[in-house]
Chains A and B, each alone.
Chain A
Amino acid sequence: MHAPLHTENSGLPPGDHIEDAARELSPLRSLDPRVITVWRFDALTEGAVALVIGIGIGFVSWSLEFPDWLIVVPALFALILATANVIIVPSRRWRSWRYAVDESVIELRHGIWWQTWTRVPMARVQHVDTRQGPIDRRYGVAILVLYTAAGSRQIPGLARSDAEALRDRIAELANIRDDV
């Protein structure tokens, strides 16, 4: 039983904050920057879907003769959020993402405001996949999905070759121990 990693809670910005732990693992790595563009496209798609729903709601609200502000204010609010989601969020999210893989554990850290730090013991990994959507393919990135008996975790935005290499490495490491 080794001493817990001590994480100093300093007032550093999120990106730096995440790197400050003294580490015994292989170094924390960032995602491929190309994923930022993919996320922008994802955000645009989400925005488009929201727009369609918003138009639907607006139409219903108009036909029911609700006051105008009841639809205009939320619509403006949604527009601002959607714009931020396309322009600001993807690069911030990329900066917040770190992952590390060694023989015994996989660590994922991410989150701009709500930060999460997840550890998946290598021995608990049941299987591992890479996944690519059409936009991922266009930009040469892939998503790595780890499955345990209690659900799955993703590392998004790895360069395709990295993702495949990591997938094979995890599969090999996880197979060494096959106790349930």
Chain B
Amino acid sequence: MRKRCATGSLSWRTFVTMSDPLAARVHRLHPIWIVYSAIKSLRALIFPLVIMLFSGGNAFQWFGIGTGLLITVAIVGYRTLIWNRFTYEITARGIHVRSGVVSRQERFLPTERIQTIDLNEDVIHRLLKVVAIKIESAAGSGSGADIVLEAVSQADAARIRHDLLRLKTTGSSADDPSPAEHVIIREDEGELLGTLPFRRLVVAGATSGRVGPALGLIFAGLQFADDLVPLRFWDHVLEETPDPTVEIIAALLLIGALLAWSFAIISTFLTYGNFELRRIDNRLQATYGLLERRRVTIPTARIQAISVTEGIMRQPFGLATIRAESAGYGKESAESGILMPLLPLVEVSAFLQRACPEFAIDPTTMSLNTPPVRARRRYLLAPVWGALVLIVIAILLAIVIGPLSSNWAVAAIPVFVIAGIMGWMNYRDSGWYIGSSGLLVIRSRSIDRNTTITRGRRIQQSTLTENPFQRRAGLASFHAAVASGGAGGRISLAHLDKDDATSLLHVSARP
């Protein structure tokens, strides 16, 4: 492929016969993709640039603006090259994508391997009036098995979907969807398995523990206030306010916490607003998000494991989050395999029964096998050792930074107590259950309590590890992995009786 033809038509289209009704043509994405992808890659840069603009001296500002412009030009230029290189072609046999500026890639997905064709829009898509098409293959699991056309016009999207579906059903094109914009997200297909009513959404936000976005916003706000409001004003404020007493500090902390909490609720609303889980034929489809509407489709046959997570703030209320670990998912983000963002534990059994009966268990009534009592000390002490290391580092830092007051040693005590309690909870919650026909349930806790439900035949590899101390006590740890990019695909249970661990090893790696 050294030679590049100006028209973009490529010489080796030999398998396409001239009588092909689709008259295979090489297409590019909508040119607006350059803008779209530039915005996406610049999004990460905007915040630091804004900080640079509003802070520091004049020279620093010009430096910021200059760098920003340079980066923008470079990104847009490179994106244009990528856009020029990215071509797709729909033939009678499937879809063929060629891409890559430096190293070239070619991908061909035969029609019969196409599993789902999803049309997605995020906020930028909506603004630019384009859609993304994700074409997933049945093989899935590997990287690069799916084809994503990140921006095509709505008319093109409808046409592509129509063509591929028609090819897939080999000619029976009678019931094709009308090529109107309405095709883009059809909300009413299939059987509705679950929604997230307003009240649950509020509860989900209130117990989400999402502090990241809140902290970011507060930090940005402080930065803004610091840079834009004249210093005299702050002097004035400081003069007016009484000396910081415990009450004032407590009040400020309370306000901060409340702010963070409301941000958590808002961000949960934005992420999971209008949540819907449906079953369409043999796949589950979750659609959610207020601004950015996301859609995740998981063929039920590809679900490797189900994880039921009871967040530390949700467990007291008997609430859980349900995720599906699926081959080919999980690499995009932590929430890509979400089945229900919030569900009372008592409803989990019925929900799993409907959504994926292969993994249906009742977590409320299940009795688990547990690690032996002689493992308790290890569970308890593991986080304590961790805390000790952290405290030693903190003390060393304190010595380096400034004079160390012995008062700080007192602060270490609650850290140890909390670590010990976490360890004890981990011991109390760890357990497993081996059911009929290879059903395997593993429960453990790091901070949140997590119950993973899988099948022996879904496990790709399983490992037993022993360190010298465990060996002396006749203990071993069990690890297993299912085919999933996410962290939920890795199962682990520490300090089991060696015989128990060995039987787990054999059940789970059963062919």
Interface residues of A (CB under 8 A from B): 1-2, 4-7, 9, 17, 104-105, 111, 113-124, 148-151, 153, 177, 180
Contacts and interface: CB of A to CB of B under 8 A. Distances in A.
A180 B302 CA distance: 8
Contacts of A9: 471, 474, 498
Given A119-B463, A119-B506, 12 more contacts: A6-B502, A7-B499, A117-B505, A119-B462, A121-B460, A123-B511, A124-B511, A149-B327, A150-B460, A150-B482, A150-B490, A151-B481
A153 B464 CA distance: 14
Nearest to A7: B502
Contacts of B502: 4-7
B77 to A, nearest CB: 37
B489 interface: yes
**Centre residue among B457, B463, B482 by max chain A CB count within 10 A:** B463
Nearest to B504: A4
A150 B499 contact: no
A105 B465 contact: no
Contact of A113 (B468, B481, B483): B468
Nearest to B506: A4
B359 to A, nearest CB: 16
Contact of B460 (A5, A6, A124): A124
Given A113-B467, A114-B467, A119 B460 contact: no
Contacts of B507: 1, 4
Contacts of A5: 502, 506
Contacts of A7: 498-499, 502
B463 A6 contact: no
B154 interface: no
Nearest to B490: A150
A4 B503 contact: yes
How big is chain B's contact interface, by range? 20 to 34
A4 B302 CA distance: 29
A113 B499 CA distance: 19
B511 A119 contact: no
B465 A119 contact: no
B461 A148 contact: yes
26 contacts: A4-B502, A5-B502, A7-B498, A7-B499, A9-B471, A105-B511, A113-B468, A115-B465, A117-B464, A117-B466, A118-B463, A119-B505, A119-B506, A121-B459, A121-B461, A121-B509, A121-B510, A123-B457, A148-B461, A148-B483, A149-B327, A150-B460, A150-B482, A151-B461, A180-B141, A180-B327
Contacts of A6: 499, 502
Contact of B461 (A111, A120, A180): A120
Interface string B438-478: 00000000000000000001011111111110010010000
A118 B461 contact: yes
A120 to B, nearest CB: 5
Contacts, number: 95
Contacts of B509: 105, 119-121
Closest 9 CB pairs between A and B?
A149-B483, A4-B503, A150-B481, A150-B460, A119-B509, A148-B460, A118-B463, A117-B464, A9-B474
Listed residue (B466, B490, B505) with the most chain A CB atoms within 10 angstroms of its CB: B466
B480 to A, nearest CB: 9
B511 A121 contact: yes
Contacts of B506: 2, 4-5, 119
B483 A150 contact: yes
Contacts of B505: 117, 119
A17 B472 CA distance: 12
Of the candidates A5, A105, A119, A120, the one having the most CB atoms from chain B within 10 angstroms of its own CB is: A119
B285 interface: no
A110 B139 CA distance: 33
Contacts of B471: 9, 17, 115
Nearest to A21: B502
A115 B472 CA distance: 13
A111 B471 CA distance: 13
Contacts of B474: 9
Contacts of A124: 459-461, 511
Interface string B68-94: 000000000000000000000000000
Contacts of A118: 461-464
B297 interface: no
A5 B464 CA distance: 13
B466 A114 contact: yes
